[in-house]
Amino acid sequence: MSGDAEFVRRVRAGDQAAYAVLVARYRARLGRYAVHMLGDRDDAEEALQDAFVRAYRSIARCRDDAKFGAWLFGILVNRCRTAGRRASRRQRMFVRDDASLARAAAAEPPEAPDWDVSIRRALDRLAPALREAFLLKHVEELEYEAMAELTGAKVSALKMRVLRAREQLRALLSEVERV
C-alpha cells in the first residue's frame, strides 16, 4: 500500500506509534480474510492480533518495505492455517459432545438457514487448502503468482485448488437453493 515503506522505516527506527498506523491500515482487509478463512470471529481476531505482533517483532525480516502489506498477509495466512488446525481439533472434540446433545434435543426443528449461514456452511465444507485458494483468488483478488508467493504452493496447484473449490461451492450452493 502506498506510504507503507516510510512507516516501516520509522518502526525499524523504534517509533512504535508508526506501527499503530500500519495496524489501522490493514485491520479491515486482513480481518476479512481471517473471518472467512476461520469462520469464527474470535479465532479470526486472535489470528490477526498474533500476526500483527509477530510482524512487529520480526520487522527486520521484511525484505521490501514497500511490500509490507503482502509480507504481513503471508504471516496471517500461516497464522490462519495454524488456527484452523487448532479449531479442527477442537471441533472434533465438540462433535462427540454435540452428538449426545443432538440425541437429547432431537425434538427441536432446525432453523431455516439464511444466505450468510449458507455461505458459511459451504465454505466450512471446503478443505482448508481449497478454501484458502478460493478466498485469495476471488475475494482478495490476488494474481496466481502472488498467491504462490504467499502460500508456497505452485501456480498450477493453486489453479487446480481454485477450480475444485468453485466446483464444490457450486454444488453446495445449489443444494441450499433446492432446500
Interacting residues toward another protein by CB under 8 A: 16, 19-20, 23-24, 27-28, 31-32, 35-36, 44-45, 48-49, 52-54, 56-58, 60-61, 63, 71, 74-75, 78-79, 115-116, 119, 122, 135, 138-139, 149, 152, 166, 169-170, 173-174, 177
Residues 6+ apart with CB under 8 A from 5: 65, 66, 68
Q: What are phi and psi of 101, to 5 degrees?
A: -65, -40
Q: How far is the CB of 143 from another protein (least distance, A)?
A: 16
- When the beta carbons of 85 and 170 are compared against another protein, the nearer one is 170
DSSP string, 9-32: HHHHTT-HHHHHHHHHHHHHHHHH
Find out whether 37 and 54 touch, Cβ atoms under 8 Å.
Answer: no
Cβ proximity to another protein: between 9 and 102 the closer is 9
Our CB check for another protein shows the closer of 20 and 101 to be 20
Nearer to another protein, 56 or 105 (CB): 56
CA atoms within 13 A on the CB side of 99: 5
**Residues 152 and 78: beta-carbon distance below 8 Å:** no
Q: How far is the CB of 99 from another protein (least distance, A)?
A: 30
Q: Is 121 exposed, middle or buried (0-12, 13-18, 19+ CB in 10 A)?
A: middle
Q: What minimum distance in Å lies between the beta carbon of 148 and another protein?
A: 11
* Residue 99, all three cell numbers: 452428538
Q: Are 22 and 11 in contact (CB under 8 A)?
A: yes
- Residue 149 beta carbon to another protein: minimum distance, rounded to whole angstroms: 7
Q: Which residue, 97 or 177, has its beta carbon nearer to another protein?
A: 177
Min separation Cβ 12 and another protein, Å:
8
